[in-house]
A and B are shown apart, each in its own frame.
Chain A
Amino acid sequence: MIQSCQNETSINFKRYYVNGKGLYEKNCQNCHGSDGKGLGTLYPPLTDSSYLNLNRNKLACIIRNGQTGTVRVNNIAYDGIMPGNQTLADIDIAQVIVYITNSFGNKQDFYDSEFAKNDLVNCK
């Protein structure tokens, strides 16, 4: 019973991760790079696990609505404008989050479309 549950989560995780990779390449990679290292101080890297962890519940809103103002990543300030993406559905955003938070040296928990839906309600 436990075994099968684990397997289902694991399959789901892989499904999200693979789809998330495709969505990342299409929507995020130009600026953040195939290695997630960003570009100079123009575009922040996605390699700061503690930033991603601390802001885990805000990631969905950032992806959908973009972000302005200064952010500190790996203790470096970035003040560019990140454009939002209104065309991504809740599940797409969850898949991108699973990919980003489990690539580039990050390793975080599974995040499904229900999490994204709940987080998106609280966007400011």
Chain B
Amino acid sequence: MKKVVLVALASLIFQSCVNTSERKLPILGEREPVEKTVDGKLLIDTIYQTVPAFSYFNQDSIPVTNKDFDNKIYVTDFFFTSCNTICPIMHRNMLNVYTKFKGNPKVKFLSHTIDIKYDLPSKLKSYASKLGIEGNQWEFVHGSRDSIFGIAAKSYLVSAFEDSADPQGLVHQGWFILVDTKKQLRGAYDGTKNDQVNQLMKDMELLLKEEFGSEK
């Protein structure tokens, strides 16, 4: 009896150690169980929501697709260059995250404009340059109305829409979405709140460790 208690106690301690030192980010979004047979045994597996294929033009008018994000983790958001409400706060914060991971080939950033009419690639280029962004680690992309608003709502779970009642005609949420190498959603952070943006940076290191075995 004593032995059983000891073993139970030991496993409890072990369990708690595992939980604290190896915190794992949740997988967000829709999921569905699927049955599959492995070695003659029926197993239940879970299929998680993933970001589907996409193709946009970036600030250099070069096509950017989901393939450019293969084997990388990335942070994505929705904005527009003439937005004077939450966007400047979001990108002031995103710039801090970018600066922290600048030059890391395993990390990318993807900002979608929701101002389809005005924010053409040349406009995005000027915006990126003024923000101090060179190269393509941070992609600012322009796409068709349906593809941008569709991927926002369905794939990244961010609300963004055109609204004639709004003074600027566009309404959107300020989430920063963290996506892993399997294109699964691993975190959502309010890009206007410093504490949540700090959490994002910690979670990115955690995800890098999970995916590549190293925080860097």
Contact = CB atoms under 8 A, between A and B. Distances in A.
Nearest to A41: B130
Interface residues of B, number: 14
Contacts of A83: 84
Nearest to A78: B130
B127 interface: yes
A71 interface: no
B interface, over-half SS: helix
Chain A interface category by residue count: 10 to 19
Given A81-B82, A83-B84, A33 B92 contact: yes
Contact of B131 (A31, A33, A40, A81): A40
A43 interface: yes
Nearest to B90: A30
Contacts of B92: 33, 39
B130 A30 contact: no
Interface of A: 30-31, 33, 39-43, 80-81, 83
11 contacts: A30-B84, A30-B89, A31-B88, A33-B92, A39-B91, A39-B92, A40-B130, A42-B88, A42-B130, A80-B130, A81-B82
Given A30-B86, A40-B132, 20 more contacts: A30-B84, A30-B85, A30-B88, A30-B89, A31-B84, A31-B88, A39-B88, A39-B91, A39-B95, A40-B130, A40-B131, A41-B130, A41-B132, A42-B88, A42-B130, A42-B131, A43-B88, A80-B130, A81-B82, A83-B84
